[in-house]
Amino acid sequence: MTDKPHPVVYHPIGIIRSPFKTTAGTPIQPAGAEGIPGRVEVFPEYSAGLKDIVGFSHLVLIYHFHLSKGASLLVRPYMDDAEHGVFATRAPSRPNPIGVSIVRLVGVDGSVLHIRDVDIVDGTPLLDIKPYVPAFDVREVEKIGWLAENVHKLPEAKDDGRFTG
């Protein structure tokens, strides 16, 4: 018999700002959002945690897909017409609607981080920030599943609103 873990509760540490006011038309990955500016407004009570962040060129933003409609275990992702298991996609309609993006840090102004390569809707709650370190984060991969036939679509792929209510 498996014991169910206790509920997990997270509280935002800030808000992500971007030019995207709705999900529709938003790039679906940072690699498809090259150069798009944004900012991260860290709440004052967390600003001490930004000490030394200026020494990193890229950051991992972990955030809540606040506009995502209910979870689905089978989804039709943006770059394919076939259904796939949600855990074989990066679709936002997940049991825990958590997003992850790697962005370029271009400046720090107090508790505001100026960033580029933003694929996130304006007003998205920020859960955490981690420095991106290639020695930790880059891995050679042998296969990328169903995306192998579709990854070429990324530069033109945009959110079409299918995962928001």
CB-based contact 93:163 (threshold 8 Å): yes
Q: What is the pLDDT of residues 140-163, one digit of tens each?
A: 877 656 666 766 665 666 666 666
Q: Is residue 116 assigned to a domain?
A: yes
Q: Is residue 6 assigned to a domain?
A: no
CB-based contact 5:75 (threshold 8 Å): no
Q: Is residue 4 assigned to a domain?
A: no
Domain residues for 127?
A: 14-156
pTM for this model (two decimals): 0.84
How many folded domains does the chain comprise? Answer: 1
Residues 6+ apart with CB under 8 A from 148: none
Q: Is residue 140 assigned to a domain?
A: yes
Q: What are the distances in angstroms from CA 132 to CA 62, 103, 153, 159? A: 12, 9, 25, 25
Q: What is the pLDDT of residues 1-56, one digit of tens each?
A: 678 888 999 999 999 999 999 888 887 777 778 899 999 999 999 999 999 999 99
Six-digit token pair at 90?
Answer: 């990066």
Q: What is the pLDDT of residues 94-104, one digit of tens each?
A: 999 999 999 99
